[in-house]
């Protein structure tokens, strides 16, 4: 009243149009007051709302009305659109669409926002939102919390409330010369994995701050929510985390197949404080490469340093399976990584394999120096937001001529290999060492968006390795030899001499190159 009049109230579409009494000038502000209530009427057979529950509510800014036209509400399926006489809709705007790059892919209501909130909940629950606690009080049987963020953040926030216990620890920030408190808010009893999660958070904070840029917040908070949903998500200094992907995990590190996923998932989410919350791409193709693939890369590096490069095969194998399985059921078209249209099998599955390979071929320090330069250039920028073309440019400038092809194949093309070891023998030499002979059969293909393949003419340096016999706990051991060799299409006869007794040989032992058949890369040596 006074500042705006209601010009349209479409109660069917839930759309309201207001006309401002005085137009809003650039940089000016206007209070927007709204009352929202949400009520679940009965319950459906499936997919009922589990965001608001007795203990462990988790609601995001998506519940609030948004300004302007909401493109993401449009029908997506080509089939469904056809039945309404609508043309197919591109999944995302072109990577170079400058208009679409005026917004981040997270929000089109606002860019970097100032955030302050007061939230109330039941008397025995703790309510949490991004920012830092300013005040806490109880009134009329409800508990109130007031949070203030001290710096601009993405227009993307969340509110959680539950009967929490708190696990507190500190991360010593050797770059910023400070101590940053980490708090895990958890369901009483769910203490099994708190130490792993805490270790994952610290390792990612250390890795990312040393290699990319300082951590922008004074605190990290991880908040458990119920296992109705199975994911974790990073908001500014605030990480909601499902009980099912960390808090109740039973990790057995004596089992060589087991993965410390509470550690891994926490590292991934903390890395998002850089990859999404510092660097955020425009609302175009390719932008989830700089969020999800780089968060995965950071988490993989944390794992590599914690457990050894020779343990990475199981992670990259899983990532490759995710990619290969995903492309098999792609409903529209597959795109190269640099044009990813938010397909998880591409930005997680392929993205992590590609980034892992790049740090091996280029060198981790060199790659991280390129990432650091990129962060410096685009972190916290205003529109137009960065895109994958700009990002890949940083990689290209860091890479020698000999690796430009690898970048093209991995980011700009859909490239697949079929690498396998067909035979392997060894014999002891008079000097006590062992000569190893083996044959690698290698093929390389380029695929188009519908999966048609053609042989690729270029040949590359591929990793080959010789391994000792596994010890009795069957844990992966460091190789006796690991080198890159230029392989031609077809059969490649290789010969090496190693000083200790070999047991198996491999081509691309850690699955750095997308390979249609993963389980024939390693072969035991014939006795």
- Given the complex with Zn ion, which of 292 and 515 has the nearer CB atom? 292
- Given the complex with Zn ion, which of 238 and 522 has the nearer CB atom? 238
CB of 90 to Zn ion, least distance (A): 24
Phi/psi of residue 467, nearest 5 degrees:
-115, 150
- Given the complex with Zn ion, which of 288 and 521 has the nearer CB atom? 288
CB of 483 to Zn ion, least distance (A): 34
* Burial category of 285 from C-beta neighbours within 10 Å (exposed 0-12, middle 13-18, buried 19 and up): buried
Count of all residues that appear for the chain in the document: 527
CB of 268 to Zn ion, least distance (A): 6
- Given the complex with Zn ion, which of 268 and 444 has the nearer CB atom? 268
Phi/psi of residue 375, nearest 5 degrees:
-60, -45
Which residues have CB under 8 Å from 215's CB, separation 6+? 173, 176, 180, 205, 208, 209, 273
CB of 237 to Zn ion, least distance (A): 16
CB of 272 to Zn ion, least distance (A): 6
- Given the complex with Zn ion, which of 269 and 508 has the nearer CB atom? 269
- Given the complex with Zn ion, which of 353 and 466 has the nearer CB atom? 353
What separation, in Å, do the N-terminal and C-terminal C-alpha atoms of the chain show? 88
Which residues have CB under 8 Å from 354's CB, separation 6+? 293, 337, 410, 411
| Greatest Cα pair distance in the chain | 97
β-pairing, 220-225 vs 178-186, is parallel
Structure tokens at 308: 């050894």
Buried b (16+ CB within 10 A) or exposed e, 137-170: eeeeeebebbbbbeeebbbbbbbbbbebbebebe
CB of 221 to Zn ion, least distance (A): 17
- Residues contributing to the site for Zn ion (CB under 5 A): 292, 295
- Given the complex with Zn ion, which of 173 and 292 has the nearer CB atom? 292
- Given the complex with Zn ion, which of 267 and 316 has the nearer CB atom? 267
d(CA 354, CA 365): 16
Give the HSE-up count for residue 220: Cα atoms under 13 Å, Cβ half-sphere.
Answer: 34
d(CA 482, CA 309): 12
d(CA 312, CA 322): 16
Q: Which residues pair with 212 in a beta bridge?
A: none
- Given the complex with Zn ion, which of 292 and 334 has the nearer CB atom? 292
Instruction: Give the neighbor-by-neighbor strand order of the sheet with 116-122.
Output: 116-122, 142-148, 132-139
- Given the complex with Zn ion, which of 352 and 387 has the nearer CB atom? 352
d(CA 406, CA 354): 9
DSSP state of 11: T
Residue 273 Cα to chain centre, angstroms: 11
CB of 3 to Zn ion, least distance (A): 39
CB of 343 to Zn ion, least distance (A): 14
- Given the complex with Zn ion, which of 295 and 362 has the nearer CB atom? 295
CB of 293 to Zn ion, least distance (A): 9
CB of 377 to Zn ion, least distance (A): 22
CB of 145 to Zn ion, least distance (A): 27
């Amino acid at each position: 009243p006074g500042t705006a009049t209601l010009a349209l109230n479409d109660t069917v579409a839930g759309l309201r149009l207001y006309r401002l009494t005085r137009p809003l000038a650039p940089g000016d502000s206007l209070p927007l007051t709204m009352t929202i209530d949400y009520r679940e009427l009965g319950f459906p057979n499936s997919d009922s709302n589990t965001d608001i529950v007795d203990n462990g509510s988790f609601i995001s800014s998506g519940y609030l009305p948004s300004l302007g036209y909401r493109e993401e509400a449009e029908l997506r399926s080509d089939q469904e659109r056809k039945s309404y006489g609508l043309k197919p809709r591109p999944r995302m705007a072109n990577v170079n669409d400058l208009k679409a790059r005026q917004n981040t892919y997270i929000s089109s209501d606002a860019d970097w926002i100032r955030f302050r909130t007061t939230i109330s909940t039941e008397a025995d629950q703790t309510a949490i939102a991004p920012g830092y606690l300013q005040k806490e009080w109880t009134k009329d049987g409800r508990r109130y919390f007031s949070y203030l963020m001290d710096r601009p953040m993405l227009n993307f926030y969340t509110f959680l409330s539950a009967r929490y216990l708190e696990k507190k620890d500190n991360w010593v920030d050797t770059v910023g010369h400070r101590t940053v408190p980490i708090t895990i808010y958890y369901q009483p009893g769910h203490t099994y994995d708190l130490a792993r999660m805490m270790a994952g958070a610290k390792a990612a904070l250390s890795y990312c701050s040393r290699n990319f840029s300082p951590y922008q917040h004074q605190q990290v908070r991880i908040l458990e929510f119920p296992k109705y949903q199975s994911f974790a998500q990073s908001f500014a200094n605030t990480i909601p985390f499902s009980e099912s992907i960390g808090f109740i995990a039973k990790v057995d590190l004596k089992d060589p197949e087991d993965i410390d996923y509470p550690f891994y998932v926490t590292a991934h989410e903390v890395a998002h404080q850089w990859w999404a919350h510092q660097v955020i791409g425009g609302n175009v193709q390719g932008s989830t490469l700089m969020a999800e693939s780089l968060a995965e890369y950071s988490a993989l590096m944390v794992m590599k340093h914690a457990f050894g490069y020779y343990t990475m095969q199981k992670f990259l194998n899983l990532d490759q399976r995710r990619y290969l399985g995903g492309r098999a059921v792609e409903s529209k078209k597959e795109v190269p990584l640099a044009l990813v249209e938010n397909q998880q099998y591409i930005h997680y599955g392929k993205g992590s394999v590609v980034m892992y390979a790049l740090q091996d071929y280029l060198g981790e320090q060199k790659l991280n120096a390129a990432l650091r330069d990129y962060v410096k250039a685009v972190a916290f920028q205003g529109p137009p937001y960065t895109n994958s073309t700009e990002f890949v440019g940083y990689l290209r400038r860091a890479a020698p001529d000999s690796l430009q092809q690898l970048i093209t194949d991995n980011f700009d093309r859909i490239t697949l290999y079929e690498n396998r070891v067909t035979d392997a023998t060894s014999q002891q030499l008079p000097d006590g060492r062992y000569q190893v002979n083996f044959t690698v059969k290698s093929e390389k293909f380029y695929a188009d968006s519908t999966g048609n393949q053609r042989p690729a003419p270029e040949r590359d340096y591929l990793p080959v390795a010789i391994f000792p016999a596994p010890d009795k706990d069957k844990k992966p051991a460091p190789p006796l030899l690991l080198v890159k060799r230029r392989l031609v299409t077809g059969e490649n006869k290789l010969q090496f001499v190693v000083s200790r007794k070999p047991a198996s040989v491999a081509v691309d032992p850690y699955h750095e190159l997308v390979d249609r058949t993963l389980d024939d890369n390693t072969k035991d040596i014939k006795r």
